[in-house]
Amino acid sequence: MYRKYFEPKYGEVAPWVQIDPPQVADMDNLKAWRVKSNFETLTDLTMLIRRCNCYDALMETITDDVRIKRPDGEEVLLRVYHPQGDGPFPIMLFVHGGGFMFNNLDLYDYVPRYFARFGGVAVVAVDYRLAPEYKFPIGLEDCYAALEWSVTNADSFSGDPSSLTVCGDSAGGNICAAMALMTRDRKGPKMHKQILIYPLTTFVATEKKLDSEERYGSGDYFLKYDSTDRKLGHTYLPSPDEDAKNPYASPLLETNFEGVAPACFISAECDPILDHALMYAAKLEDNGVPVDFHLYEGMLHAFINRTYQKTFEALDDIVAAVPPLRKD
């Protein structure tokens, strides 16, 4: 596929890390399954967050919900997280993960709250539409519309487009990488940083498993993933064979990176798609895009949704990666 940014150790999971079984969706009753899964996950996560010293401070963050209309007549929910103070503030568009099929704003609520409360960042989180009901590129275009809205309406939440960042995890990282290409191609909002949290960077099936998939992809390390298997692509992509070659679905396939925003990678060591991030970071670097890579040893995919010490280290590293406001 492509060289790696560096060769990791592929070590063992940290002893204090809880390894949950992989999510297996009931595709025959997907709507009901989502409701049940979201409720159970939100209940568990809320219990964890309430035990943290930062919980009360997080809940001080003021939020506003906004709905934007899409060309097909449907509406997409945005949630704006306001930092304390008068601003202006850097702007971050946050895109949640979940295999393009799962999760919502509520499940990720404390992540953008953290960025707003402790990072002084005005965050716009987007509840983009999910596959398989809404296949590529609908969810991606929802997010791009949210990016445009964030810049056009920046004054309404004291945001300053001179520092515009996109940040997303897993599927959200894929979408953010794609938006960095899209806004360059469309001459859209000037993006200053793409923060990619354990991103999926290609849907192209490989002849053999990547090293990280071979080591961690069995499902014993939370996420079950195999790039020789096209199940995820068939769920998200309307024409899997052709759409997988589209750089907006598989950013790793892009060949022209001129004008693409600098990248910060936040990756878990014990993650079957670690090599996706390592390959994309290497390709960006080889094409002159500044790259900053953070690897959290002993962590699993989705650790950003936990309350480990390294979770908060990663959140702080993300805040530190947000570019300062420009003076000119």
Cα radius of gyration rounded to whole Å, the chain: 18
Q: Are strands 159-169 and 193-197 parallel, antiparallel or unpaired?
A: parallel
Q: Are strands 89-95 and 122-127 parallel, antiparallel or unpaired?
A: parallel
Structure tokens at 188: 């859209």
Question: Is 219 exposed, middle or buried (CB count within 10 Å of its CB: 0-12, 13-18, 19+)?
Answer: middle
CA 31/CA 26 separation, integer angstroms? 9
According to DSSP, residue 224 is labeled B
Active site residues: 170, 271, 301
CA 267/CA 174 separation, integer angstroms? 13
Structure tokens at 184: 């360059």
Structure tokens at 1: 């596929």
Structure tokens at 138: 């609908």
CB atoms within 10 A of CB 89: 24
